[in-house]
């Protein structure tokens, strides 16, 4: 840290920064791949990958960069698991072996790790390099709850406001939403998401399919949403079908999945209080 202070920020290497804080993944990736230009780490907890995608959208719109890698990474290491265990937030025993939606479990979850990134860029730049767009971000909304990490807000009002803002920005009617990508945590906080969807989508909420990778892998807090998004976009680009859901709730698992690209909502709500919704339009 002293070396960074003496030399000044403009001359310091990311290796110095990484010994001070733990959220310098973006800088390490840029350093390793010799990437130049815009670099930022979003440290907002669950579904930080969705927040990174929204941040990339805003950066593109402001002209800060023509093309951005947006995503997130999670790593399971001993201290991380110990911390969650001390807080009583880990599923154990039969709960861990059979990971489903448990709307009555207070806060516990099954953890996983992984990484997922997508390329966000202006349409003109994609055309210049011959890339075929997979989706277009056309609306977003974000709100902040007031409760703390150990007492997450279960009121769906904030998330509903985010969803409504995303729909309004996209100019969508609720009945036009064809898919919802989410990152359920396998506890009662998921009821908040389901309630917010019912409030924002009305009758459509009982029929729109919900897709996640969490029940197949466990919850990788920062990247589960982005991993699901990347898998959905890849499946559509390859002409493959989406994978069946195994939430354990028949009303959700039995909903027919779309055969191809459709209007898609990305939604998340974390213990840190961030509620986020993004609207993705199929490629034109």
The dihedrals phi and psi of 116, each to the nearest 5 degrees, come to -155, 135
Q: Residues 151-165: what's their mean pLDDT?
A: 92
Mean pLDDT (the chain, rounded): 86
CA distance 85 to 111: 11
User: Given a cut of 70, is residue 3 above it in pLDDT?
Assistant: no
- Reduce the DSSP state of residue 150 to 3 states and report it: coil
Q: What's the confidence (pLDDT) of residue 95?
A: 76
Selected residue with higher pLDDT from 275 and 96: 275
CA distance 183 to 196: 14
List, for residues 40-64, the tens digit of each pLDDT value.
787 777 788 999 999 999 999 988 8
Q: What's the confidence (pLDDT) of residue 217?
A: 86
The token duo for 113 is 């790790």
How many residues in the chain?
A: 284
From the CB of residue 94, how many other CB atoms can be counted at a distance below 10 Å? 7
CA distance 137 to 210: 19
Residue position matching structure tokens 């110095």: 16
CA distance 85 to 279: 35
Least confident residue range of 83-92, 136-145, 174-183, 204-213? 83-92
Q: What's the confidence (pLDDT) of residue 14?
A: 53
User: Given a cut of 90, is residue 164 above it in pLDDT?
Assistant: yes
Domains of the chain with CATH codes:
81-281 (3.40.47.10)
- 80, 62 Cβ separation under 8 angstroms: no
Q: What's the confidence (pLDDT) of residue 215?
A: 85
Q: What's the confidence (pLDDT) of residue 253?
A: 93
- 162, 276 Cβ separation under 8 angstroms: yes
CA distance 7 to 153: 44
């Amino acid at each position: 840290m002293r070396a960074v202070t003496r030399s000044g920020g403009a001359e310091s290497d990311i290796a110095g920064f990484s010994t001070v804080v733990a959220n310098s993944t973006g800088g390490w990736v840029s350093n390793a791949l010799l990437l130049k230009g815009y670099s930022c780490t979003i440290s907002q907890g669950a579904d930080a990958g969705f927040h990174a995608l929204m941040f990339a959208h805003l950066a593109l719109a402001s002209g800060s960069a023509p093309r951005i890698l947006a995503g997130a990474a999670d790593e399971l290491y001993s201290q991380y698991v110990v911390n969650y265990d001390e807080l009583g937030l880990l599923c154990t025993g039969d709960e861990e072996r059979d990971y489903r939606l448990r709307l009555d479990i207070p806060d516990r979850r099954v953890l996983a790790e992984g990484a997922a990134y997508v390329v966000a860029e202006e349409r003109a730049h994609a055309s210049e390099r011959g890339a075929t767009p997979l989706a277009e971000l056309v609306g977003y909304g974000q709100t902040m709850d007031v409760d703390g990490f150990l007492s997450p807000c279960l009121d769906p009002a904030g998330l509903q406001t985010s969803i409504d803002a995303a729909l309004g920005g996209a100019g969508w009617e609720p009945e036009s939403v064809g898919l919802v990508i989410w990152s359920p945590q396998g506890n009662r906080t998921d009821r908040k998401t389901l309630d917010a969807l019912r409030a924002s989508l009305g009758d459509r909420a009982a029929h729109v399919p919900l897709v996640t990778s969490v029940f197949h892998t466990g919850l990788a807090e920062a990247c589960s949403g982005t991993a699901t998004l990347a898998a959905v976009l890849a499946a559509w680009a390859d002409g493959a079908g989406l994978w069946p859901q195994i939430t354990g709730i028949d009303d959700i698992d039995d909903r027919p999945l779309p055969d191809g690209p459709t209007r898609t909502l990305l939604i998340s709500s974390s213990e840190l209080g961030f509620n986020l919704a993004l609207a993705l339009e199929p490629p034109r």
